[in-house]
Amino acid sequence: MTEALAPTRETAGSTVVAGILAYLQDRRLQPGDRLPSERDLAERLGVGRNAVREALATLVTLRVVESRPNSGIYLRHVARESSFEALVMLTDLGGTPTPTEVAETMEVRGHLEQLAAGLACQRRTDADLARIEDVLRHTDALLVRGANIAQADTDFHIALVDATHNSVLVRVLNAFYRFTARRRERMFEDAAQAHASVREHHRLLEHLRARDAAKAQLLILRHMDRARSYWSSVLGD
C-alpha cells in the first residue's frame, strides 16, 4: 500500500472506536457491565492492543466507559453520563441517531440559534455581513443548478454564529452542525425545503443589517420549527 493510500492514525483510531462500539451494541451490554480485556478486544477486532488501549482512552474521555483501577473497563449509562461530543462522534462514525435524540438535539439547538441570532444583531460587523452575503450568493447559485445546499446551509449558520464573536457559542453550535450534517444532506434533497430555508436565510440577513434582534430571533425559531416538523413527519413523533 502506498503512503497516499495508507489510513491516517486518526482514521485507524476511529475505526477501532467504531469496532468497540459495534461490539457493545451487538452484545447488548448494559450500564455497569464489564468490557472484555484489551487482549480479548484486540483479538475480536483484529488489531493491536495499543490501538485498543488508545480507543478505550478516547471512550473514557467521552464518558462512554469508565476505567476502575484494578478492576477493568465498565460501560457507563451513556444517555445520562456521556458527553454530547460522544453522540457527535458516533454520528461521524456512521451511527444513526434515534428519533428521540434528533428531537431533543433540535430543541436545544433551536434555543442556541436564537441566542446566536440575538447576539449577532448586536455585535455583527460589516465584514460579518459581507461574509454572509457571499454565502447566500453561492447558495442561490446552487439552487439554480439544482444542487444540494447542505454545505452552504452549514456555512450560513457558521457565519451567523461567528458574528456573535462568542467563541464558546461557536464551538458548541459547531458540534450541532457536525451532528446534523448527513441528515441535512437528506433534507435538502427536497427542493421545497431547500428553497424555503434559503428564503429564511435572506430574511435573517435583512434583520441582521437592521440589528432587529426580536425579528431575527423569532425567525430563527420558526426556521428551526420548520425543520423539526419535517423530521417529525419523516421519523415519526
CB count in 10 Å sphere of residue 187: 19
Angle at 220 between CA 195 and CA 175, to 5 degrees: 95
Q: Are 76 and 65 in contact (CB under 8 A)?
A: yes
pLDDT at 5: 34
Amino acid (1-letter code) at residue 167: S
Beta bridge mates, 73: 67
CB atoms under 10 Å from CB of 204, counted, come to 23
For the record, the C-alpha cell of 53 comes out as 488501549
pLDDT value of residue 222: 93
Give the pLDDT score at 95: 63
Residue 3: per-residue pLDDT: 34
What is the C-alpha separation between 31 and 25, in angstroms, rounded?
12
CB–CB of 75/29 below 8 Å?
A: yes
User: Which pLDDT score, from 0 to 100, does residue 88 have?
Assistant: 79
What is the reported pTM?
0.74
**Mean pLDDT of residues grouped by 10 in the chain (237 residues)?**
40 77 83 92 92 90 87 84 73 71 86 96 98 98 96 96 97 89 88 95 98 97 87 67
Q: Among positive and negative, which fits the CA dihedral 84, 89, 90, 96?
A: positive
How many beta carbons lie within 10 A of that of residue 15, not counting itself?
16
- Residue 137 identity: R
